[in-house]
Structure 1
């Protein structure tokens, strides 16, 4: 039996909505969550694709996520927009506030979009890439649970603390990067554990503070930052800008709030939106062209330009469907049935 199953985007979306609505989310809330999960799977970001649906269902089952959340949009200042997510998933709050945040960026040249009191489970690139497609540059930061040790330490302090950035390009996909300041994403360690595969060295420590390649021990111990002290410094920056600056939780506080339930991390998010048209005026075209000189210098020597591999994966998925780890797929189908969301024939279900 093959280790993977191929599904279409529609089947993946149907599966997400059945799980999420079966777990009690309203339709708009569920659609916002499903969209980012399907986007992750479509672009072969497997640790942030359909696998994340399992974690979302678990978080909903704990009762911590507000299934009836009503995000509140707060017009805080000419260049600051806040959305109180009402302890729902971040993607729902993002959808409720993003258009007003964009208006502020167009008016002021720069807008800070703050999401508070949210459960954040997804990659960050789905939040900045659409902004770049509309001509903006954008930077997103968020903490998580304290899973990562600082450089030179052995005890978890930081979250995986991702940073995402997007830059608009004319007649081309935006330049986008999205990476954890930890040496790898936690979801990748979890997928290795599920598959019975060892980690590469240098990613994690066990409970005794010793290096380990055992993913189960890594999940019980501490992850490491990428680049030693440099990743540790960047992770600290994320904690501060997406924590105290926006009056929300740092990763240590998010983990304490969880109190062992293993729910999705609860904290805040900061997205900075830059409008090059306001910054540059008539010099916009010239400077976008200068940016292309930089990209050409990278690609011209066959170096990797971040996001290019993901765009190719997206094209493949649109033509040939998306590959999903069979164990993940079967767990989700079982979850649909458990939640009673399959009273009608589930379009996503297929024989082994």
Structure 2
């Protein structure tokens, strides 16, 4: 029997939605979460695709997530949009706040979207891509759980603390990057553990602080930052901007709130948007051309722009569907039983 199964993108969305809805998530939240899970699977970001259904259901069953929460919006300052997720997942709150962020950015040139009191599990590139689709420049960041040791340490302080950026490009995919400040995403280590595969050295240390290639030992120990002290400093910046500054939990506080139940991290998220038209005025075309010259200088020497492989995967998936492990498919089907 083939150990993989092919699904259309509509089937991926339907499977995710039904599994979430059957396990206590309201239709609005389930739609928002299923949409971003489908995007992750479509772009072959396997750790952020259908695999995330399992963690989302675990979070629902923990009793900490309110699967029926309705986000509420406020504007404490002209350039700041706040959305309280009320202990729901972040994605419905994002959907509620994004149109207002775009409106404020076009009026003021720069604006911020603050999402508070949310459970977060998703990649950030769908969020900054959504900003770039509006012709704006986007930046997003969020803490997680304190799984990551600072450079020179061996105990978790930081989250994986991803940082994402998108620059709009006329007539094509935006320039996008989305990376954890840890050496790898937490979900990638979980997938290695699930498949009983070794991880590379440099991803994590075990519970004794020793470098390890054992994924299970890594999950019991601490992850490492990318780039040593540089990734460590960026991780601290994310804790400050997307935790302390917005009045929400740090990664250490998120882990304490979880209290071992294994739910998704609970904290906040910060998104910033910039309007090139407001910054550049009559020089808009010149500014955008400078960006294109920069991208050409990268690709003309054979280098690849960030997310290029993801966009190529997107094209394949839209044409041919996606392949997932049969064991994962069966685990999700079991959630419907």
Matches within 5 A, 1:125-274: 125-274=125-274
Which residue does 2:299 correspond to in 1?
299
CA positional deviation for 1:2: 2.4
- Structure 2 contact 17–30 (Cα < 8 Å) conserved: yes
1:94 aligns with 2:70: no
CA positional deviation for 1:112: 0.6
CA positional deviation for 1:3: 2.7
Distance (whole Å) between structure 2 residues aligned to residue 278 and residue 5 of structure 1: 48
Which residue does 1:85 correspond to in 2?
85
CA positional deviation for 1:152: 0.2
CA positional deviation for 1:147: 0.1
Which residue does 2:51 correspond to in 1?
51
Deviations 1:78-102 (A, max 9, x none): 1000000001000010001111111
Which residue does 1:35 correspond to in 2?
35
Distance (whole Å) between structure 1 residues aligned to residue 67 and residue 34 of structure 2: 14
- Structure 2 contact 102–134 (Cα < 8 Å) conserved: no
Distance (whole Å) between structure 2 residues aligned to residue 69 and residue 195 of structure 1: 35
Distance (whole Å) between structure 2 residues aligned to residue 125 and residue 325 of structure 1: 24
Distance (whole Å) between structure 2 residues aligned to residue 276 and residue 247 of structure 1: 29
Distance (whole Å) between structure 2 residues aligned to residue 28 and residue 319 of structure 1: 28
Q: TM-score, normalised by structure 2?
A: 0.99
Which residue does 2:332 correspond to in 1?
332
Following TM superposition, the consecutive aligned residue runs of length 4 or more in structure 1 with deviations greater than 3 angstroms are none
SS of the residue aligned with 1:166?
strand
Q: TM-score, normalised by structure 1?
A: 0.95
1:61 aligns with 2:81: no
SS of the residue aligned with 2:86?
coil
SS of the residue aligned with 2:225?
coil
CA positional deviation for 1:334: 1.1
CA positional deviation for 1:217: 0.3
- Structure 2 contact 42–313 (Cα < 8 Å) conserved: yes
Which residue does 1:107 correspond to in 2?
107
Which residue does 2:6 correspond to in 1?
6
Which residue does 2:278 correspond to in 1?
278
CA positional deviation for 1:198: 0.2
CA positional deviation for 1:266: 0.2
SS of the residue aligned with 2:336?
helix
Distance (whole Å) between structure 2 residues aligned to residue 130 and residue 2 of structure 1: 36
- Structure 2 contact 157–252 (Cα < 8 Å) conserved: yes
Distance (whole Å) between structure 2 residues aligned to residue 325 and residue 231 of structure 1: 32
Distance (whole Å) between structure 2 residues aligned to residue 285 and residue 326 of structure 1: 49
Distance (whole Å) between structure 1 residues aligned to residue 300 and residue 326 of structure 2: 39
In structure 1, the gaps of 5 or more residues are: 338-352
Distance (whole Å) between structure 1 residues aligned to residue 12 and residue 325 of structure 2: 13
SS of the residue aligned with 2:138?
strand
Q: CA-atom RMSD, angstroms?
A: 0.7
SS of the residue aligned with 1:290?
helix
SS of the residue aligned with 1:243?
helix
The number of residue pairs the alignment matches comes to 337
